[in-house]
């Protein structure tokens, strides 16, 4: 069995679905919150998380916000997000974020309109604020939709889509999330849709990362699950040492995203 096959075909997805749903059910009961709110993008991660939430606590306790950017969100993503909400029977609210985003920019004298990353991250943080406003006003919890691959390489916005109350997919690589989604009945057009945070028009994850998730997941699996060093990982996967180092450097550079802000240890 090859490395990728081991990652994708090894898990018992029925058991994984049961464990995550139980985790979400217990977490909600423990906190005393009324329900969950999730940002539905039409992609595989938010779709899989929504399916799991409904299995965990029922559709009446799950609410979705659809927060498209009319400049960057393709119509098919919005249509898929609507389809998921209606398929699952969860209530949803649609709000375009552009007016809020443009108001932010007008109010900031230090804005840099040419900076795609800063402006894209602002859009993600606007969505976070809206999700938390909804959650706070209704005693709900915000479901994070990042997967293990994104968490390990830091491919998310700090205090944006990285801000949540729980991360149900945080133990699964991207390729495993796709397989889990298919197991739960998510249509293949969503389960295997090319990933993108849609921070700007034409923005695609794997183009920005410089590697496919099939490659990234194999490297991460060898490094963090099998405990291989860089050279062993390159040999086991058949990828160049340069590729392995590049992915590992993503992990190192993003370490600040996976912990609370540091504070000095004081003695007196």
Q: What single-letter DSSP state applies at residue 139?
A: T
CA 8 from chain center: how many Å?
18
What does the pLDDT average to over 135-160?
A: 97
d(CA 59, CA 241): 47
Listed in sequence order, the residues at least 6 apart from 263 whose beta carbon sits closer than 8 Å to its beta carbon are none
pTM: 0.95
d(CA 213, CA 138): 36
Q: What angle do CA 235, 239, 243 make, to 5 degrees?
A: 120
pLDDT reported for residue 1:
66
Q: What is the pLDDT of residues 53-66, one digit of tens each?
A: 999 999 999 999 99
Q: What is the pLDDT of residues 183-240, one digit of tens each?
A: 999 999 999 999 888 888 888 888 889 999 999 999 999 999 999 999 999 999 999 9
d(CA 106, CA 6): 51
Q: What is the pLDDT of residues 102-137, one digit of tens each?
A: 999 999 999 998 999 999 999 999 999 999 999 999
d(CA 250, CA 17): 29
What does the pLDDT average to over 129-155?
A: 98
Laid out side by side, the sheet with 140-142 consists of 91-94, 62-66, 35-39, 140-142
Strands (DSSP E) contained in 86-193 are 91-94, 140-142
pLDDT above 90 covers what percent of the chain? 93
- Cβ-count burial 76-108 (b if 16+ within 10 Å, e if not): ebbebbbbbbeebebebeeeebbebbeebeeee
Count of alpha carbons within 13 angstroms of residue 134, beta-carbon side: 25
Looking at every residue in the chain, the average pLDDT score rounds to: 96
> Under a CB-based contact definition with an 8 Å cutoff, are residues 151 and 250 in contact?
no
Structural domains in the chain, CATH included, are: 3-210 (3.40.50.620)
């Amino acid at each position: 069995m090859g490395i990728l096959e081991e990652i994708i075909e090894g898990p018992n997805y029925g058991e994984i679905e049961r464990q995550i749903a139980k985790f979400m059910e217990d977490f909600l009961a423990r906190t005393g919150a009324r329900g969950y709110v999730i940002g539905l993008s039409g992609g595989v991660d938010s779709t899989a998380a929504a399916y799991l939430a409904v299995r965990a606590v029922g559709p009446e306790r799950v609410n979705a916000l659809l927060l498209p950017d009319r400049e960057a969100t393709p119509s098919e993503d919005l249509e898929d997000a609507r389809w998921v909400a209606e398929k699952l029977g969860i209530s949803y609210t649609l709000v375009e974020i552009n007016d809020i985003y443009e108001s932010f920019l007008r109010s900031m004298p230090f804005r840099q309109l040419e900076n795609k990353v800063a402006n894209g991250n602002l859009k993600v943080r606007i969505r976070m604020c809206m999700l938390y406003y909804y959650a706070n006003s209704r005693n709900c919890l915000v479901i994070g939709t990042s997967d293990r691959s994104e968490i390990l390489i830091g491919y998310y916005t700090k205090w944006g889509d990285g801000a949540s109350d729980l991360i149900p997919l945080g133990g699964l690589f991207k390729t495993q999330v796709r397989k889990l989604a298919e197991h739960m009945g998510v249509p293949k057009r969503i389960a295997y849709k090319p990933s993108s945070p849609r921070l700007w028009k034409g923005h695609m994850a794997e183009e920005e990362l410089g590697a496919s998730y099939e490659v990234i997941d194999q490297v991460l699996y060898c490094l963090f699950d099998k405990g291989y060093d860089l050279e062993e990982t390159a040999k086991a996967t058949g990828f160049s040492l340069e590729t392995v180092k590049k992915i590992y450097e993503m992990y190192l550079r993003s370490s600040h995203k996976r912990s609370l802000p540091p504070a000095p240890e004081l003695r007196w």
